[in-house]
């Protein structure tokens, strides 16, 4: 699927002051031996309207189908993967984090693990409280951030009997941005479990 707004996957390499871009963090993680070898794929889900959340939508396109039916087979056909769900994980942040939460539930045949960082979810709950506060504090846009979606997702996993040793959950003092230093954990933790 051609991205109508241009190619945005290159933004993974953007450099901010005093921070490493995520691809460099991934390289350092594997070089340190803190994670088992893995193939890391960066998918572009950006649309002319913003993030697609990798949903199939008549407005933005068939991005979940693109991910599941085109990207996964493409990678499996061209790289030395172990082409089964127990050796494939999905991770993302924000709209990509939402994709990482929802897609494995809809396609458990493809993905056996997930990691979400500030994944958008429970939109009505999060924005119901957020918008009035933001409208009053337009000059201070760096207020606290509580991840309602991740908390609710964890509760739902526990409610259906997913054991604690299969969930790594952590809320930490930060905002929605500038958390790429947390992403390598999302590679290391599932790689250990998928290799066991």
Helix/strand/coil (H/E/C) assignment for every residue in the chain: CCCCCCCCHHHHHCCCCCCCCHHHHHHHHHHHCCCCCCCCCCCCCEECCEECCCCEECCCEEHHHHHHHHHHHHHHHHCCCCCCHHHCEEEEECHHHHHHHHHHHHCCCCCCEEEEECCCCCHHHHHHHHHHHHHHCCCCCCCCCCCHHHHHHHHHHHHCCCCHHHCCCCCCCCCCCCCHHHHHHHHHHHHHHHHC
| CA gap 162, 159 in Å, rounded | 7
Q: Are 14 and 32 in contact (CB under 8 A)?
A: no
What is the residue whose two structure tokens read 């929605």?
Answer: 176
Chain-centre distance of CA 58, in angstroms?
A: 23
Please give the pLDDT value at position 79. Answer: 96
Mean pLDDT of 27-45: 90
Residue 108 CB contacts under 8 Å (≥ 6 apart), including other chains: 85
pLDDT tens for 130-178 read 545 544 443 343 333 446 677 777 888 888 888 887 777 777 777 777 8
pLDDT value, residue 110: 94
Residue 7 φ then ψ, to 5°: -90, 125
Position 26 pLDDT exceeds 70:
yes
pTM over the 0.85 mark = no
**Across the chain, how many H-helices and E-strands are there?**
7, 6
Percent of the chain with pLDDT over 90: 20
Residue 56 has pLDDT above 50, yes or no: yes
- List, in sequence order, every residue forming a beta bridge with 93; answer none if it has no partner: 117
- Residue 6: per-residue pLDDT: 45
pLDDT at 80: 94
């Amino acid at each position: 699927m051609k991205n109508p707004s241009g190619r945005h996957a290159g933004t993974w390499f953007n450099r901010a002051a005093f921070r490493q871009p995520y691809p460099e963090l991934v390289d350092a993680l594997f070089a340190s031996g803190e994670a088992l070898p893995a193939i890391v794929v960066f998918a572009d889900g950006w649309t002319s309207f913003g993030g697609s959340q990798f949903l199939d939508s008549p407005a933005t396109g068939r991005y979940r189908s693109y991910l599941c039916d085109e990207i996964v087979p493409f990678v499996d056909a061209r790289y030395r993967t172990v082409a089964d769900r127990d050796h494939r994980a999905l991770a993302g942040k924000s709209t990509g984090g939402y994709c990482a939460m929802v897609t494995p539930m809809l396609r458990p045949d493809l993905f056996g693990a997930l990691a979400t960082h500030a994944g958008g979810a429970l939109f009505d709950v999060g924005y119901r409280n957020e918008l009035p506060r933001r409208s009053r504090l337009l000059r201070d846009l760096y207020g606290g951030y509580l991840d309602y979606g991740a908390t609710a997702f964890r509760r739902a996993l526990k409610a259906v009997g997913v054991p604690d040793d299969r969930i790594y959950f952590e809320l930490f003092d930060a905002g929605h941005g500038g958390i790429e230093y947390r992403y390598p954990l999302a590679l290391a933790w599932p790689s250990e479990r998928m290799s066991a």
